Every structure is written in C-alpha cells, then in structure tokens.
A and B are shown apart, each in its own frame.
Chain A
C-alpha cells in the first residue's frame, strides 16, 4: 500500500469525478511523484483553472489555488515570480489550457518559466457537458459538434515543445507508473515542464461517442499507445489514431525566474 492520506484533504472525499473518470489516476500518480522526490508539503503550490481536472486542487493538502478558467498559468507565473523557491504545479484541462487559456499556455512555455504543468487531455470540455475542445479528434461528436468535429486538433505536447518548453512528455492513465515517473522528472526540471496526461471522460465524451465505460476507454488507451522510440520510425498514416507516449524533450535552457534574478542581482550590486 501507498499512504496517500498524508497528502490529501480526506474530509473532501469521495471525489466528485464520475465513475471511471481517469482523473483520479492522475491525482494518485502526482502524489506518488511528490512523495518519491521527498518534497515538503509546504514547498509545493498547486494552481488550477476551471474544469473537472482543475477540481484536483480541492483534494490535496499543499498550498493550493483554484483560479479562473484559462488563467492557471498566469496565477502560477505570479506565484513563481514572487516565491521562486516553491515548486509550482499547474493543474489544467485541454480546454482550460489550450482553448480559453491558449495564449497563456504558449507564452508560459516560451518564457520557459519554472512551472510543472499537468495537463489532463480528455478531448472534451467535461465539466460543462461535452463541448468540442481543441483536442477533440476530427469526426468525433460533441454537443457543439453534432455532426462530428470538423477541425484539425492541437498537438498539445508539440505545441509546448515548439513554443520553448524544456521538458515535454506524454503518458496515459493506463500506465500509472509511467505517469508517476514523468511527473517526477517534470518537477525536477528547472524550466517549463509539461506532462500531457491522457485521461478518459466516459460521461461527456465516451457516452456520446459510444466508447463504453471508463474502463473500456482505458483499454483503448492501452491498445493505442505507441512508445516515442517506435513512433519515430512510423509514418503519419501508421500513427493515425495512435497515442504516442514518452519524453519528447528534456533539455535545460535559460529559465525565466532565474533570468529575472540576474537583473535583480545586478541592480542590487550597483546600489
């Protein structure tokens, strides 16, 4: 057994998430990663936006901020600038981070600010009942796409990498151990670190698309997962419908808060 209780606000349980929602598996992996790194609870600050995934901050016994839709990155940036010693972890969904919050997401990555972003990708706006999100695969149904989504999707990990993130990885809830390992590596990296966690939403996405229960959607994730090392040798056609998992980039480069510190130090020396 793993003792989760020491990191949780047990009085808030049971979790609000639906039966078979994958978000609880991400929460568990995150808690184990923090435990593995031996971080003091008070040295961690979790910041979330709005959505089902973002409800996570209500359940954990760290410093927590549950903010406004799409703005988790901005609050987290403020926390990091003011308190650079904190491990700032952003909890967000695909809608929260890449639709309403898309601008903040790419610029946080561009600045390579030392945030660890756990982005729950369930291909949909779960909380509000299944509107199309920037990651809803083409052809899939949503309340706002009754004939199937017609648009190209964002590659969330690719977007962060292109924008300037220094650590980017994708894992899915079917493999909780891999998820835990990537989250631990992401926290250790000094710079903008993304873990894209593929998590099923059986209620707002699965039901409308007849994908079965959460357990079936997890089986699908297991079936469709392709390790990055193997994916590199595959054609785009072969990768159609697959979920590439792995670490895409892990390369430290100048980080925003440290660069800011250099400016502070320069002026303090001149005083």
Chain B
C-alpha cells in the first residue's frame, strides 16, 4: 500500500524577528518539524514538510509567524 502525502508547494512562512520572543510555542505545536529555534528566534528549517495546518500561527502569542497558503488565496 502506498501512502500519498499531498505536498504543499505553495506555502510561504514569514517570521518577524522583531516580534518573535523565542517562546518555542510554534515549534512545539508544529506536527511536522518544520520549525526550529536558532539564536533564540524561530526559524523555518523544512518548508517542504509544511501542510499549512496553521497551528503555529494560531498559537504564536506575539503575532510573529504568518503562514500563507497560496492555494487558498
């Protein structure tokens, strides 16, 4: 049996360095290890794995991470 994982090619993630307080909440919520911490700020490490589930954006307390699912725009 093959499992087809729908790849999301048209996703963009924007992180505001000025607003990110390094709380790690986005990293904790991401089910696909897309995000990592680097020098106290969140950073995108594996965009290809992002399914645009929006969990990170919903729970970032500082409005610092924005996920654009261009297929929905």
Q: Are A215 and B25 in contact (CB under 8 A)?
A: yes
**Contacts from A to B (Cβ < 8 Å):** 1-2, 4, 8, 13-15, 17-25, 27-28, 173-174, 176-177, 213-215, 218-219
Residue of B nearest to A25 (CB): B61
Determine the main DSSP class of A at the interface with B: loop
Chain A residues near B58: list those with CB within 8 A. Answer: 25, 28, 176-177
Q: Are B57 and A1 in contact (CB under 8 A)?
A: yes
B18 partner, pick from A14, A173, A214, beta carbons under 8 A = A14
**Contacts from B to A (Cβ < 8 Å):** 18-19, 21-25, 28, 57-63, 66-69
Chain B residues near A18: list those with CB within 8 A. Answer: 21
Chain A residues near B28: list those with CB within 8 A. Answer: 215, 218-219
Query: How many cross-chain pairs have Cβ atoms below 8 Å apart between A and B?
Result: 63
Interface centre among A1, A8, A13, A174 (most CB of B within 10 A): A1
Given A20-B61, A24-B63, A219-B28, check contact A1 B23 (CB 8 Å).
Answer: no
4 more contacts with CB within 8 A, not counting A1-B69, A213-B24, are: A13-B19, A215-B25, A218-B25, A219-B28
**Interchain residue pairs with CB less than 8 A apart (20):** A1-B57, A1-B67, A2-B57, A13-B63, A14-B19, A15-B61, A15-B63, A18-B21, A20-B21, A20-B61, A21-B61, A23-B61, A24-B61, A25-B61, A28-B58, A173-B59, A214-B23, A215-B24, A218-B25, A218-B59
Chain A residues near B19: list those with CB within 8 A. Answer: 13-15
Residue of A nearest to B72 (CB): A1
A8 and B57 alpha carbons, distance in the complex (Å): 16
Q: Are A214 and B25 in contact (CB under 8 A)?
A: yes
Given A1-B67, A1-B68, A14-B18, check contact A215 B61 (CB 8 Å).
Answer: no
A27 and B61 alpha carbons, distance in the complex (Å): 8
A27 and B59 alpha carbons, distance in the complex (Å): 10
Q: Are A17 and B67 in contact (CB under 8 A)?
A: no
Chain B residues near A13: list those with CB within 8 A. Answer: 19, 63
Chain B residues near A177: list those with CB within 8 A. Answer: 58
